[in-house]
Amino acid sequence: MCAPDGPREERPVPRSHRTRTPPPVPPIRHALSITRDADFAQWYQEVITEAEMAEESGVRGCMVIKPWGYGIWERIQRTMDDRIKAAGVDNCYFPLFIPLSYFAKEAEHVDGFAKEMAVVTHHRLIADGTGSLVPDPEAELEEPLIVRPTSETVIGAAMARWVQSWRDLPLLTNQWANVVRWEMRTRMFLRTSEFLWQEGHTAHADRDDAMTETLRALEMYREFSHDVLAMPVIAGEKPENERFPGAVATYSIEAMMQDGKALQAGTSHYLGTGFAEAAGITYQSREGEETLCHTTSWGVSTRLIGGVIMTHGDDDGLRVPPAIAPHQIAIIPMLRDDEGDAAILDYCEELRRDLAGLTALGEPLRVLLDKREGKATQKRWAWVKKGMPIILEIGARDVSGGNVSVIRRDRLWREDGKTDFTVMTRDAFVAAAAAELEDIQRSLHDEALARRDANIRRDIADLDGLAAFYGEDVHYPGWVELLWARPTGTELEEVVARLKDLKLTIRNTPLVDGQVEGTCVFTGRPAVERIYVARSY
């Protein structure tokens, strides 16, 4: 397990030299049956199931996103959309189906996606005589339609119509949509056949302007990931072998999961003039010359939710950063089916109202009074597994004392292995609630950042050292920062192949990078930049 870590499952062993032997600490009874340490992949599946985020749909690689998972996505959408709009980008919607001929115009692009495209070839079904329906041979489409795996081509066709003059530039568009990629191996949220995302597409007069937009989007993602998802990332440029098909340069944000693997959490591409050429996106310059546009594209997807799970989850389930929690505080009344219940509910409702009037992280607090029938303890553990940032339990004693019982999801256990309840006055809690949520947001971020930095090795100077670090017996190794000479072509292919033997990939070259002095680990030549290598999702 990457260290340092969240709440500890292993606690100090009682010291025998003390005169009075402390009572043995009972093991924590975690809400999940599988720990991260025992089997990270199984743990990940269990979090998704137990937090009721998503489930199998019966369609290969496609998932049903349930209210808690979708609620998180809606929060991501809303907060990201604010940033996109603030940058002057307008939302549009483009068709799900793309004529194959559009796609075929950009050679590298079609090569990159050909093996994973869903294709529509017929528009009608017909009875086959045995009670089943089959595509009607009479109804074959003249030109197959592909289900969009990404929309550069169809948006490019629109841009070609929309851009005539230098006055039309820059053209800044975005769409929130679903896309389909027929992946060989799927994983909930991380790689599904269908996924939800936003894709920004922009056209510019020249390279500089397009590159500025590419890097603006990347910085938007980096800031979003840190400030909203509490997920630290490294923003940088992908090596040429990892470029988006058809791109001139691809940039990414890379996050470290708790098993040490890297997750590409967002990408931004400078597409040069290739797509503009394929789609005919040209403008007349001030000088009257017909000129090709430079285009960009950038996106983040529901994969971010997988990143949040693997960044913040613990052995009791998910921990949702307050900024993206559909609800930030759950109030659980402890009812006893007697005449005292009405007073408890009144007390809870008034508390809910007072909290909902507050502002935290720049928005009104999202508070849920969980009045559903059922046992308070069961509701509590259900919210723990979902990762509700703060859980309040209100019983008759709290009502008469003017108190609340508070659980902070990010600090669930006390030293003695018991659930950490804090009883405080209602008024004190209301006064502190907003700051408390902001503190949870910050502390989840700091915990993730500390873990990431503790798991990046910077002192490996040769390939043997690299092989040792990623040896068979190493449990969840992190990343390695290396110096290299940025080889290209076949020389790069050799490097990639050598890394592949260790199941490693080059993640990116960090953007903010000072002077580099040293020797390339792969070629022995003077190094020109830093790279991160890691195992990845």
Query: Given the rule CB under 7 A, which residues bind RNA?
Result: 29-31, 41-42, 44-45, 49, 56, 58-62, 112, 115-116, 150, 181, 183-188, 191, 195, 197, 242-245, 247, 250, 252, 264, 266-267, 269, 299-301, 303, 316, 334, 336-337, 374-378, 380-381, 393-399, 405, 418-419, 421, 423, 500, 503, 505, 536
Please report how close the Cβ of residue 204 comes to RNA at its closest, in angstroms: 20
Report in angstroms how near the CB of residue 166 gets to RNA at its nearest: 30
The CB-of-196 to RNA minimum distance in angstroms stands at 10
Q: Which is nearer to RNA, 248 or 527 (CB)?
A: 248
For residues 24 and 261, what is the distance between their CA atoms, to the nearest angstrom?
A: 36
- The least distance separating RNA from the CB of residue 518, rounded to whole angstroms, comes to 28
DSSP H/E element including 378: helix 376-386
Q: How far is the CB of 245 from RNA (least distance, A)?
A: 5
Q: Looking at this protein, which amino acid is placed at residue 290? A: E
Closest separation between CB of residue 252 and RNA, Å? 7
DSSP sequence for 188-247? TTTB-SEEEEEEEEEEESSHHHHHHHHHHHHHHHHHHHHHTS---EEEEEPPGGG--TT-
Number of H helices, E strands in the chain: 14, 27
Residues 180, 121: contact at Cβ < 8 Å? Answer: no
**How far from 462 is each of 40, 87, 467, 481, CA to CA, in Å?**
29, 43, 9, 11
The amino acid present at 324, given as its one-letter code, is I
Nearer to RNA, 446 or 493 (CB): 493
* Pick from 467, 380, 378: nearest CA to 420: 380
Minimum CB distance to RNA, residue 55 (Å)? 8
Sequence-ordered list of residues with C-beta below 8 angstroms from that of 464, at least 6 positions apart, any chain:
none
- What is the Cα–Cα distance from 248 to 182, expressed in whole angstroms? 25
DSSP notation for 386-437? HT-SEEEEE-HHHHHHTEEEEEEGGG-B-TTSSB--EEEEHHHHHHHHHHHH
- Specify the pairing of strand 422-425 against strand 367-369: unpaired
Nearer to RNA, 362 or 489 (CB): 489
Residue among 161 and 418 whose Cβ is closer to RNA: 418
Which phi and psi angles does 140 have, rounded to 5°? -75, 135
Residue closer to RNA (CB basis): 374 or 524: 374
Q: Nearer to RNA by C-beta: 117 or 444? A: 117
Neighbours of 493 (CB within 10 A): 12
Question: What are the E-state strand segments in 239-301?
Answer: 249-256, 262-270, 282-284, 290-292, 294-301
Q: How far is the CB of 531 from RNA (least distance, A)?
A: 17
**In terms of CB distance, is 86 or 184 closer to RNA?**
184
Min separation Cβ 505 and RNA, Å: 7
Cα dist from 389 to 176, 195, 318, 406, 409, whole Å = 28, 27, 10, 11, 5
Residue with Cβ nearer RNA (139 or 343): 343
Closer CB to RNA, residue 74 or residue 416? 416
Element holding 177 (H helix, E strand):
strand 171-180
CB closer to RNA out of 419 and 523 = 419
For the bound state, the minimum distance from the C-beta of residue 487 to RNA, rounded and expressed in Å, comes to 19
